Chain A
């Protein structure tokens, strides 16, 4: 398959470019670009999560910012209580904060899994545009819930004064933190690559393309989709926790529908259902945003025109364009 190998080549180049960028930035003493690269890696991870639901499973969630934001709030709330030494819950079980990233990641995965199971169970009763909108509705509920929590900053959000710790790793160093995010991104992409090739992945793709056939094979589509939706939310939640650590800040804007829209755009821009699509999309979007933003105040106009051109003339996204292959479905 010469075309498949061409996509692999594009993927390898992308992964290497993302790794090289901050290393070169450190060599040139331009720390801003290290942060920018971390941003790309983290938002790409959020997109990779969404891509499992959207690309592989055909579930167009317009509410993934909910999971992104929940992950962020887990990091923020844990850091607050860890910093103050106060407890999140005092009774019946004493639950305090934490300064350990691994603990925070674990809680973020758990919380997003529980919430996604609930949201997915209701939302998956619908399909098409209704699914898009009901996921949006749930995300809006969580957004307003976060706004109404004065303990955790309400509308103003919550600052994280100290970045959490990782055993044996100096996560305060920007380059090290980037490498952590980068490793997580590639690790998750590898796991998803394995997942999509597995029996579960086959069932999920069949649930997207032909749910009746899947049911005839004796596999109910609903649990398959719900599992994929939950996994997808957990990955996006993990990205949210990293994003809060990167910025040292979490606010309701991480839960906003605009952010859900941006994560969708990473996925479509890069190429729906392609393993490295979200990385290409996030990288292109963030590069456009920061470089055009540096050139002109009217950057939104140019960004809008570029996005419009991509959707009108480059079907299959950036990866589709580079790999020269038709849309995946």
Chain B
């Protein structure tokens, strides 16, 4: 097994991890600040992907599509927050689970209505269609590298936003003491709408970028949603830093597991059995990781005490 192959798989893992971070950041912010479990976060990912590929198809520009997907998801998020979500903040988690599950149904059906039943396809932007040579031979798709870069830039931007700006200060204050920031004269309703729209926009961005790697279809958000939940649970709910670290951990574990576990079992099992045992173990690997982490650290790797 060559070093180039290993690097390629590691990069694939990091790329998946970065995507998961964009999803998980919004999920964990909304949970940390508003205490809300949002199962419909995957729907916002889907909305971003659909608008991105539709606008890109209409205008011929991937970048216009990506921007459009980002804005559409933010707008959908803000709208949903004003209409539904703000009625759920002081409800228990069960009500939130049911209401946001209902939102999944509504979003899926509306998307089918607007965009039709057929999946959409989105082309990789021409400037990024090539491969970048890897040390030790071979190449790596430039588009995937660009995703990693964009994700890391977003992570830094999000960090600066939360650590350095007035909005970020209010978000952090909202995480530790909701009543107090209201008493200090911050307009909580607007703040919550802004945070929710920000989370939605990040999910929409992730959806738009992934749209060029897979088909854009109704229901594409749910598998990613589950992974993003795994990420924020491992990282510690409410912690953006935890989300970043655990997203990369989950991405790399998942990707390397898929590639290497079947080979590992091939060392002492017949090939057909090794493939099936390896494949099943690798599909389970991140859940094993999550159960393992929670068994030792019941509040995740970077617990936020609120």
Closest residue of chain B to A258, judged by CB? B222
Closest residue of chain B to A261, judged by CB? B101
Given A130-B299, A133-B233, A308-B106, A140 and B291 touching (CB < 8 A)?
A: no
A-B contact pairs, 8 of them (CB 8 A): A126-B298, A127-B298, A129-B37, A147-B280, A261-B101, A301-B110, A304-B106, A305-B102
Whether B283 contacts A264 by the Cβ 8 Å rule is no
Does A178 have its Cβ within 8 Å of any Cβ on chain B? no
Given A129-B237, A130-B298, A298-B109, A141 and B284 touching (CB < 8 A)?
A: yes
| B221-265 to A contact mask, C-beta < 8 Å, 1/0 | 010001001100100010000000000000000000000000000
Whether A144 contacts B280 by the Cβ 8 Å rule is yes
Minimal beta-carbon separation of A58 from chain B (angstroms): 10
| Interface Cβ pair total, 8 Å cutoff | 127
Whether A268 contacts B98 by the Cβ 8 Å rule is yes
Whether B279 contacts A308 by the Cβ 8 Å rule is no
Report how far A126 CA is from B226 CA in the complex, Å.
Answer: 19
Partner of A300, one of B105, B233, B276, B300: B105
- Residues 12-51 of B contacting A (Cβ, < 8 Å): 31, 37, 39
| A258-279 to B contact mask, C-beta < 8 Å, 1/0 | 1001001100110010000000
Whether A148 contacts B101 by the Cβ 8 Å rule is no
Does B295 have its Cβ within 8 Å of any Cβ on chain A? yes
Report how far A272 CA is from B105 CA in the complex, Å.
Answer: 22
Whether A272 contacts B276 by the Cβ 8 Å rule is no
Other CB < 8 Å A-B pairs besides A138-B291, A307-B102, A311-B99, 12 of them? A60-B97, A125-B298, A130-B237, A132-B97, A136-B226, A145-B284, A148-B279, A261-B101, A265-B101, A272-B94, A301-B106, A307-B98
Whether B31 contacts A129 by the Cβ 8 Å rule is yes
Q: Which B residues are in CB contact (< 8 Å) with A136?
A: 226, 229
Whether A312 contacts B104 by the Cβ 8 Å rule is no
Chain B residues within 8 Å of chain A by Cβ, number = 43
Chain B residues with CB under 8 Å of chain A are 31, 37, 39, 84, 87, 91, 93-95, 97-99, 101-106, 108-110, 113, 222, 226, 229-230, 233, 237, 276-277, 279-280, 283-284, 287-288, 290-291, 294-295, 298-300
Q: Which B residues are in CB contact (< 8 Å) with A54?
A: 94
Q: Which A residues are in CB contact (< 8 Å) with B237?
A: 129-130
Whether B295 contacts A265 by the Cβ 8 Å rule is no
Whether A311 contacts B298 by the Cβ 8 Å rule is no
Partner of B229, one of A133, A138, A258: A133
Partner of B102, one of A125, A127, A150, A304: A304
Report how far A138 CA is from B226 CA in the complex, Å.
Answer: 13
Does A23 have its Cβ within 8 Å of any Cβ on chain B? no
Given A141-B288, A148-B276, A130 and B102 touching (CB < 8 A)?
A: no
Minimal beta-carbon separation of A264 from chain B (angstroms): 6
Does A68 have its Cβ within 8 Å of any Cβ on chain B? no
Q: Which B residues are in CB contact (< 8 Å) with A138?
A: 287, 291
Closest residue of chain A to B226, judged by CB? A257
Minimal beta-carbon separation of A13 from chain B (angstroms): 24
| A117-151 to B contact mask, C-beta < 8 Å, 1/0 | 00000100111111011101110110011011110
Whether A137 contacts B230 by the Cβ 8 Å rule is yes
Q: Which B residues are in CB contact (< 8 Å) with A269?
A: 98
- Residues 265-313 of A contacting B (Cβ, < 8 Å): 265, 268-269, 272, 298, 300-301, 303-305, 307-308, 310-312
Q: Which A residues are in CB contact (< 8 Å) with B290?
A: 133-134, 137
Whether B84 contacts A312 by the Cβ 8 Å rule is yes
Q: Which A residues are in CB contact (< 8 Å) with B31?
A: 129
Given A125-B295, A298-B113, A305 and B99 touching (CB < 8 A)?
A: no
Report how far A97 CA is from B177 CA in the complex, Å.
Answer: 59
Whether B102 contacts A311 by the Cβ 8 Å rule is yes
Q: Which B residues are in CB contact (< 8 Å) with A126?
A: 294, 298-299
Partner of A304, one of B87, B103, B298: B103
Whether B284 contacts A265 by the Cβ 8 Å rule is no
Whether B109 contacts A137 by the Cβ 8 Å rule is no
Report how far A60 CA is from B97 CA in the complex, Å.
Answer: 11
Given A304-B104, A307-B105, A132 and B276 touching (CB < 8 A)?
A: no
